[in-house]
Every structure is written in C-alpha cells, then in structure tokens.
A and B are shown apart, each in its own frame.
Chain A
Amino acid sequence: MSFEPKILGIACNWCTYTGADLAGTTRLKYPQNLRLIRVMCSSRINPSFIIRGFQLGADGVLVGGCHPGDCHYGTGNLYARRKLAITRKILEFAGMEPGRFRVEWISASEGKKFSEVVGEFTEQVQTLGPQTKFKITKDGQ
C-alpha cells in the first residue's frame, strides 16, 4: 500500500476551477488525492492558507489561477504572483521541501492541462513522502 498524499488545491473560480470542471466533463482522469477549494481570484489567497494547509496535514499545496493578463478582475493575479512568489521563498527558507508547493496558471479551456498538472504534482508529492515538518501532531505538536 503506497502512500496516498493529501493534496490541497486552491483554484480561482473563473479559470482554474472552470478548467477543473472541463477536465471532469470531458472524462479526463486525474488522481483523487486532490481536495479543491474555490476562491474568486488567486489574489484572494492569503499565504496563511498555505501555511495552515500544511499544518492541518496537506502533503502538497497546489494553487491555480488565470494566466497573467487574463485575470477576470484585470490585475488580481499580478498581485498574486508576487504574493505567492514570496510565500514560496518563505516556505523554502523555513526548510519546507520546495516540491510541495506549486503555482500554475490554468485557464478555463485547459482541462487537459489541469489533469496533467494534478497528476504530475501528486506523483511528485508522493515521491517526497508524507509532510511532517509543519503538520500538527497530538501531544505537544
């Protein structure tokens, strides 16, 4: 029985989440490890969500948004890009494995890309094994 990672996904409503729907309606397969949360825009994502996700047991966190230039709200993902870039650096400097956090721009028509990215990412996290650094454990963490 190999390790089944818990992947937390946070996807923007207009692009990535719709792309995920497209993957579903076109019957494209992707691993069931993904727990997807929908936000209206990638800039809604508070970096603390990502930290908390790891603390609550996520083995990997995948963020999806519109391609820069195509944000439904015009510029949201341009702020998000900077935000998520710094988040990545912070996680890395704290010692979190870089392969556990990924940001991908996936549009509403890229159902195939969605399923591929989720598949790749899940496999990558599976190789890394269970995330233990941030994860809260009982008895004094």
Chain B
Amino acid sequence: MTAFKKIEDNLRMEAKNLLESGKVTLVLAYGGGFDEKHPVPYVAKAAADADHLVFNEYCTYNMARYLTRYPKGTKIAVAVKGADSRAVVQLIQEGKLRRDDLVILGIPATGMKNQKTGEVIDARTTASTINPVIFDVLLGDEVHGVKAGSPYDVLAELEGMDKDARWAFWKKEFERCIRCYACRKACPMCYCDPCFMDMSRPRWADKSPTDDGTLMYHLTRFYHLAGRCIDCGECSRACPVDIPLYLFHKKVAKECEEMFGQAAGMNIEDKPAMANFKGEDSDQMLG
C-alpha cells in the first residue's frame, strides 16, 4: 500500500491541477484540524487551498455526504476511500449525481483508525471494500492480497442470540440515544429534505427523546437504508454515545444481498434493490 504521506502529496497535486485548470469548481477532501489526530472535512475552492489538504489514518470521513449539497451540474472532485466510493456509485444510481460532473480521486487504504479509540478500522465495523470501486484517478496503488474478511462475520454473536436477548441488547443501546441525529447527518445516503423525522403531518415520531420515538427513528432509518447503506461506518463513528448502528445496518445489507443478489453501490447501472423487483424474487423471502 502507498504510504499515507505519498497519498497526501498526490492529493494536493491532483487538487491543484484540477482547480487551476478549472476542470472542477471544488475539491472535497480532508484538511488539518486542531491536531493531527483530528483532521476535518475540507472543501478546496482555490488552487492555493490545495496546500491545506491532508491525508492520514484518521481521515475517516465519507466525503460523499457533501456531494448532495451542491446544485446538480456543479463540477466536483471528491476524495474517496473504498466504501466511500460505493456511496458515490449509489448516489449516481439514485439520480442524485451525474457521473460526468465528478472527478473521483480514489484512495486505496488499509489501516485507517478510529479517532476516538485509535483502533484500526476493518471489516468488523465497515465494509471490506479496500479499493475504490469507481475512480478517475488513483492517489495510491491498489491494495491486493490482503484478506479483508467478510463484513458480516461480526454479526455472528447477535445472530446467534435468542430474540429476547437481542431485544434487550438493542433496547439498552437505544436508551443512550440523545436524538442528536449525527448518524443521519453523517450518512451520505440521508439526503432527504424533509426527512421523515422532520415531518409533523404525519408525525412519525415525537420530537422529544421518547423511547418509542427513538425506536421508530432507528428502525425506520435501517429500513430506509436497505440496499443503500454502503457500510462506511460513519454513522457509528459520528454517534457521541457510541451506539453500534453499524451492526444493524450490516445485518440489513447482508439480508438484501442474500435475498436480492445485489450489494449496494457496486455498479452504476444497477437499480437500487428496494426500487426494483426481479423475476427470480420468490415468496421464500417472506418466510
């Protein structure tokens, strides 16, 4: 794998070129924060901004989440790691982005670290996609020969639990939810305006943090991301109280893959699984 410092140099160079040539209006990547362990998402607009771009193991942000902020037609370069690139594909599938408006700067990377815990991020908490599935430029060499492991292995414990134990687990986790909506806002696929939680007619969930409202919020979001979640893990890293949302999202992703034969964000020609049906679908899926 290319060293992070080299990736950073390539990132700065590409960004500078793209902005100078006017090929893009902005570059979505990473910048320095108040210290090295805390980089920030960064929008470079002028060629000089490119000097502020950084890349290190703490650049865990999925920059695809910022893509839907700009009017369609804006020419944007975006730095994406493996799972992040799948978000770009998914957004193109859903018609939120046009492929030719984008210059995708792919970053193959392993050894990314969780900013809070310092733990290495691997298939236990994110997708096993190391190399970007779509890119115009690669900022580092593709990584080959690394056994990423299945992104669903981590589900074994919960799947093996009896249903009452599983309910007790989730009930306890959701008790901590303070409805800050960091999970929703960190997610590249949560671009709905208004979100169902912002609606008052019908009122899907009350604004105050009641247990039932919290459950409705999370279960509905798990459903809304079915076949769309690309397992970047950002929702769980964004959560200020460490709710392991990725476990549920992975489970839904696993079921979608098994039932519908399709993983989210892999090919731009795919139709999103929940907006589609196939001849092979059978009543088996209803149990």
Q: Which residues of A does B touch, CB under 8 Å? A: 47-48, 51-52, 55, 68, 75, 78-79, 81-90, 92-98, 103, 105, 133-134, 136, 140-141
Name the residue of chain A whose CB is nearest to the CB of B273.
Answer: A82
CB distance from A28 to the nearest CB of B (A): 24
Query: Which of A48, A103, A140 has the largest number of chain B CB atoms within 10 A?
Result: A48
Report the bound CA distance from A94 to B249 in whole Å: 12
Q: Establish whether residues A95 and B164, one from each chain, have CB atoms under 8 Å apart when the complex forms.
A: yes
* Interface membership of B51, Cβ < 8 A: no
Give the residues in chain B near A79, CB-CB below 8 Å. Answer: 274-277
Q: Establish whether residues B220 and A51, one from each chain, have CB atoms under 8 Å apart when the complex forms.
A: yes
Report the bound CA distance from A90 to B227 in whole Å: 13
Name the residue of chain B whose CB is nearest to the CB of A56.
Answer: B212
Given A82-B274, A82-B285; A93-B211 close (CB under 8 Å): no
CB distance from A33 to the nearest CB of B (A): 22
Q: Establish whether residues B223 and A90, one from each chain, have CB atoms under 8 Å apart when the complex forms.
A: yes
Given A90-B222, A90-B223, A96-B163; A85-B285 close (CB under 8 Å): yes
Q: Establish whether residues B260 and A47, one from each chain, have CB atoms under 8 Å apart when the complex forms.
A: no
Report the bound CA distance from A136 to B256 in whole Å: 30
Report the bound CA distance from A141 to B275 in whole Å: 35
Task: Please list the 5 inter-chain residue pairs (A to B) with the smallest Cβ-Cβ separation, ordered nearest first.
Answer: A95-B167, A78-B277, A85-B285, A95-B166, A141-B211
Q: Establish whether residues B212 and A55, one from each chain, have CB atoms under 8 Å apart when the complex forms.
A: yes
Q: Establish whether residues A82 and B223, one from each chain, have CB atoms under 8 Å apart when the complex forms.
A: no
Q: Establish whether residues A95 and B168, one from each chain, have CB atoms under 8 Å apart when the complex forms.
A: yes
**17 intermolecular pairs with C-beta atoms under 8 Å apart:** A48-B220, A51-B216, A68-B281, A75-B277, A79-B274, A81-B281, A82-B260, A83-B274, A85-B259, A85-B285, A86-B226, A94-B167, A95-B165, A96-B167, A98-B287, A133-B171, A136-B211
Q: Establish whether residues A95 and B170, one from each chain, have CB atoms under 8 Å apart when the complex forms.
A: yes
Query: Which of B196, B204, B215 has the largest number of chain A CB atoms within 10 A?
Result: B215
Number of B residues, CB within 8 Å of A: 40
Contact partner of B215 (CB less than 8 A), chosen from A51, A78, A84, is: A51
Report the bound CA distance from A47 to B218 in whole Å: 13
Q: Main SS of chain B's interface residues? A: helix
Interface residues of B in 111-159 (CB under 8 A from A): 158
Name the residue of chain A whose CB is nearest to the CB of B196.
Answer: A48
Contact partner of B158 (CB less than 8 A), chosen from A85, A86, A93, A140, is: A93
Give the residues in chain A near B220, CB-CB below 8 Å. Answer: 47-48, 51
Q: Establish whether residues B166 and A93, one from each chain, have CB atoms under 8 Å apart when the complex forms.
A: yes
Contact partner of B248 (CB less than 8 A), chosen from A68, A93, A97, A133, is: A93
Report the bound CA distance from A90 to B256 in whole Å: 11
Q: Establish whether residues B212 and A81, one from each chain, have CB atoms under 8 Å apart when the complex forms.
A: no
Report the bound CA distance from A88 to B167 in whole Å: 15
Give the residues in chain A near B215, CB-CB below 8 Å. Answer: 51, 55, 134
* Interface membership of B1, Cβ < 8 A: no
Name the residue of chain B whose CB is nearest to the CB of A93.
Answer: B251
Contact partner of A55 (CB less than 8 A), chosen from B168, B216, B285, is: B216
Report the bound CA distance from A78 to B164 in whole Å: 32
Name the residue of chain A whose CB is nearest to the CB of B167.
Answer: A95
Q: Establish whether residues A92 and B286, one from each chain, have CB atoms under 8 Å apart when the complex forms.
A: no
* Interface membership of B252, Cβ < 8 A: yes
Give the residues in chain A near B100, CB-CB below 8 Å. Answer: none
Give the residues in chain B near A87, CB-CB below 8 Å. Answer: 223
Give the residues in chain A near B287, CB-CB below 8 Å. Answer: 85, 88, 98
CB distance from A110 to the nearest CB of B (A): 15
Q: Establish whether residues A52 and B170, one from each chain, have CB atoms under 8 Å apart when the complex forms.
A: no
Interface flags, B90-121, vs A, CB<8A=1, else 0: 00000000000000000000000000000000
Q: Establish whether residues B211 and A47, one from each chain, have CB atoms under 8 Å apart when the complex forms.
A: no
CB distance from B261 to the nearest CB of A (A): 12
* Interface membership of B219, Cβ < 8 A: yes
